[in-house]
Amino acid sequence: MAGNGAGRFEGRVAVVTGASSGLGRAVAQSLRDGGARVFGVGRDEARLRAALEGGETGWLAADLTDPGAAAEVMRACTERFGGIDILVNAAGAHTMRHTAEVSDEEWQYDLAVNLSAPFFLSRAALPHLLERGGCIVNVASIAGLEGQAYSAGYCAAKHGLIGLTRAMALEFDSSAIRINAVCPGGMTTPLLENFAFPADPDYTLIMKTASARGLMDPAQVSNVITFLCSEEASAVHGAVYTVDNGKMSL
């Protein structure tokens, strides 16, 4: 595989979830620009089409909270491109709620989007990735490394996703596959632009999650993810990269 720039991912097939906007879109476009054939997954087909136009791409509109969607994604991708080399689990959702008011359905949704979907997709992709020596990058969050107020379901799921990453990395330590995670801090994405706080929040608690350096552009996190997908990261396996403008170290 070539180094940085065009051709870096020539001949590789990448599945990217959450590809219609935000970080997932930035990752999908970066992989595409590096020569990968990118198969994007999201809820809105029109937005996927707009995000992935140009290059050799494909897409599927799917609800990843449905456990059966993962197999359909892999089937559609392999029919389009013949295999899979890279899986980036970038789709996610975060809604702040007072913990005592979280409904059963809201709790299950938080886990389904942020933890179960990456598991089902990874499980479905494993036969292809093991055969081709591919990689998985799970997009967790600094909420997977610390507590965050009004975010019980999100924190639980992201902590779980880091655990899943490490467990799978250990299980496949003797295989050619590489499995890593990235933990972003706050980014300027549509998720943040449409963010709603719970009623009567304590903003001093909410601000504990913020970096003094401010919000990041999704491209700054995408750069780390695409590095982990590349041959430059051939010795990186079972790692959890924090990309948060220094928040966790301050």
Domain range for 200 is 13-243
In a domain, 231, yes or no: yes
Reply yes or no on whether 154 is catalytic: yes
Do residues 63 and 121 touch, judged by C-beta distance below 8 A?
no
CA gyration radius for the chain?
17
pLDDT tens for the chain, residues 1 to 250: 334 556 899 999 999 999 999 999 999 999 999 999 999 999 999 999 999 988 899 999 999 999 999 999 999 999 999 999 999 999 999 999 999 999 999 999 999 999 999 999 999 999 999 999 999 999 999 999 999 999 999 999 999 999 999 999 999 999 999 999 999 998 787 766 667 788 888 878 877 787 777 888 999 999 999 999 999 999 999 999 999 988 787 6
CA dihedral sign, ordered 42, 111, 178, 128:
negative
Residue 6 falls within a domain, yes or no?
A: no
User: Of 109, 154, 203, 241, which residue is the catalytic one?
Assistant: 154
Q: How many domains does the chain have?
A: 1
151 domain-assigned:
yes
Residue 250 lies in a domain: no
What is the DSSP secondary structure assignment for residue 142, as one 8-state letter? G
Q: Kindly report the CATH number assigned to the domain that includes residue 85.
A: 3.40.50.720
Flag whether 132 is in a domain. Answer: yes
Is 217 within the bounds of a domain? yes
User: Is 114 part of a structural domain of the chain?
Assistant: yes
CA distance 38 to 31: 7
**Residue 202 in domain:** yes
Q: What angle do CA 60, 118, 221 make, to 5 degrees?
A: 85
Q: Which two tokens stand for residue 58?
A: 């494909």
pTM score of the predicted model:
0.92
Joined together, the tokens standing for residue 207 give 């601000």
Q: How far is CA 212 from CA 74, 197, 222, 244, 245, in A?
A: 41, 20, 21, 10, 8
- Residue 60 in contact with residue 72, Cβ under 8 Å? yes
